[in-house]
A and B are shown apart, each in its own frame.
Chain A
Amino acid sequence: MVTSSAPHGGATEQSSFDDAFCELLNRLYRRAAMLAGSRQSAEDAVHEVYLKLAARPQSFLAHPEPYAYAFSALLSVIRDGWRRERRHVLVEDVEFTGDPGTTGAGTQWDDGGLERRASELETVRLLRLLSVRQAGVVVLVDLDGYTIDQAAEILSLHRGTVSRTRRRALEKLRGALHQRADRSGGERHAC
């Protein structure tokens, strides 16, 4: 356990940090899953964010909005990951495959688990069309509901930069979202 390996004399602080981080964990993981591209990468990213923030727990705890602080760290981790993967050959499209380890046969038949997974993968594909900064801005503004000004503060950018970044992201995504709508329509007919 980390609490046993925490810096000397910081047991209480470490405990508070763990509590605060744990509250954000699910939300942070879902953001990581969208941005990192795979669940394993998402888990690694969250772990790395935890380690980063644990190095200076007081900064995290003293921040007026810990989620924003953690998201900023997550974006930095994701950016590093994307840079590492830059030389990898990307697939044309995300191929949907059920995960046999996590999805039971009953789930596939009954409760639309496949569709939920497809939605996640489609989002990953869309965000992968963007730069890390664009993806971060889109998540903060369009998913988390922050204003442009708030997102600018979280990402330590000028509001004009954030506004321009989001506009370009939306322009990039326009075609991709239309493609998706067309394809979804085709699938409905096929079923």
Chain B
Amino acid sequence: MRAERREETAAALREQLHAADAGIDVPDGLWDRVRAPREGTPVAVRTPLLRRRPVPFAVIAVAAAAVVLVVCGTWWLVAPPSTGSGPAQDPAAPHPPEHAVTLRVHNAEVPCRKLRTMECSLRIAKNPFQPYANPDNAVGRVWHGDRLSASCVVTDGQLIKDENGLSSTRWYRVSKAHGEWREGATAGWLPGVRTRNTTEVPGCSGSERPSK
């Protein structure tokens, strides 16, 4: 029934459309007007007008790439420190230079190497030129096997002798990676006898050396 009514409508519509089609006169001179540029539309402007729609895929791809870049950049800038990446992690932390060397902490006392106790910890000093045993001269503690990043070395620090009798005046400027560091401390000094370094480390410049 509905199909019948639809067919009736279609028939009436066809009749209407054909009658209208037959009744529409094409105005004289239409072809000339269609081909001719419109008034006020300079010929030179027509080509850009025809290209109003650039390749949609290219536009979409470029826009999407821009959005992704902006979002990623923003995230990288404002990422919380807990995420472990981004400059906001620790603004005060010194940027490890390209020539930074990774050192492994060495404890001369064999029984202590497996223990992570206070008694077996090794001190990271605040100043390599002050007595190592000075209670104030500490920024943190590390244990045997901890890895630290050394940015430079001073060779004229306090002379330190370890439990095996090995002595050295070399001190490495290290930044935190492992171990326990005091709040606010980001870098300190590790006595040369507390590691077994075989890699060349550059000497500290004037600005990197603490006052004696």
Could you tell me the distance between the alpha carbons of A25 and B30 in the complex, rounded to whole angstroms?
A: 9
A60 at the interface (CB under 8 A from B): no
Question: Contacts of A1 on B, CB cut-off 8 Å?
Answer: 35-36
Interface residues of A in 145-191 (CB under 8 A from B): 167, 170-171, 173-174, 177, 180-181
Question: Contacts of A18 on B, CB cut-off 8 Å?
Answer: 35
Question: Contacts of A5 on B, CB cut-off 8 Å?
Answer: 37, 43-44, 46
Contact check, B23 vs A120: say whether CB atoms are below 8 A apart.
Answer: yes
Question: Contacts of A26 on B, CB cut-off 8 Å?
Answer: 26
Question: Contacts of B5 on A, CB cut-off 8 Å?
Answer: 174
Contact check, A116 vs B23: say whether CB atoms are below 8 A apart.
Answer: yes
Given that A173-B9, A174-B5 are contacting pairs, would A30 and B17 also be in contact in the complex, using a CB cutoff of 8 Å? no
Contact pick for B35, options A2, A139, A171, A181, CB 8 Å: A2
Contact check, B19 vs A138: say whether CB atoms are below 8 A apart.
Answer: no
Interface residues of A in 4-52 (CB under 8 A from B): 4-5, 7, 18, 22, 25-26, 29-30, 33-34, 39, 43, 46-47, 50-52
Could you tell me the distance between the alpha carbons of A54 and B31 in the complex, rounded to whole angstroms?
A: 14
Contact check, B13 vs A43: say whether CB atoms are below 8 A apart.
Answer: no
Question: Looking at chain B's contact residues, is the secondary structure mostly helix, strand, loop, or mixed?
Answer: helix
Measured as residues with beta carbon below 8 angstroms from the partner, the interface class of chain A is 35 or more
Could you tell me the distance between the alpha carbons of A14 and B18 in the complex, rounded to whole angstroms?
A: 33
Given that A55-B51, A173-B9 are contacting pairs, would A43 and B33 also be in contact in the complex, using a CB cutoff of 8 Å? yes
B64 at the interface (CB under 8 A from A): no
Minimum CB–CB distance for B3 against chain A, Å: 10
B38 at the interface (CB under 8 A from A): yes
Contact check, B30 vs A34: say whether CB atoms are below 8 A apart.
Answer: no
Minimum CB–CB distance for B42 against chain A, Å: 9
Total interface residues on B, using CB and 8 Å? 33
Given that A25-B26, A29-B26, A30-B26 are contacting pairs, would A171 and B19 also be in contact in the complex, using a CB cutoff of 8 Å? no
Could you tell me the distance between the alpha carbons of A119 and B17 in the complex, rounded to whole angstroms?
A: 8
Contact pick for B37, options A2, A119, A170, A174, CB 8 Å: A2
Question: Looking at chain A's contact residues, is the secondary structure mostly helix, strand, loop, or mixed?
Answer: helix
Minimum CB–CB distance for A26 against chain B, Å: 5
Given that A117-B23, A123-B20, A167-B6 are contacting pairs, would A47 and B38 also be in contact in the complex, using a CB cutoff of 8 Å? yes
Question: Contacts of A177 on B, CB cut-off 8 Å?
Answer: 9, 12-13, 16
Contact check, A142 vs B13: say whether CB atoms are below 8 A apart.
Answer: yes
Could you tell me the distance between the alpha carbons of A52 and B20 in the complex, rounded to whole angstroms?
A: 27
Could you tell me the distance between the alpha carbons of A102 and B19 in the complex, rounded to whole angstroms?
A: 20
Task: Using CB atoms and an 8 Å cutoff, list the residues of chain B in contact with chain A.
Answer: 5-6, 9-10, 12-14, 16-24, 26-27, 30-31, 33-38, 43-44, 46-47, 49-51
21 A-B residue pairs with Cβ-Cβ distance under 8 Å, sorted by A, are: A1-B35, A1-B36, A4-B43, A5-B44, A7-B47, A18-B35, A25-B26, A29-B24, A30-B21, A30-B24, A43-B27, A43-B33, A50-B35, A51-B50, A117-B23, A123-B19, A142-B13, A142-B14, A143-B14, A170-B10, A174-B9
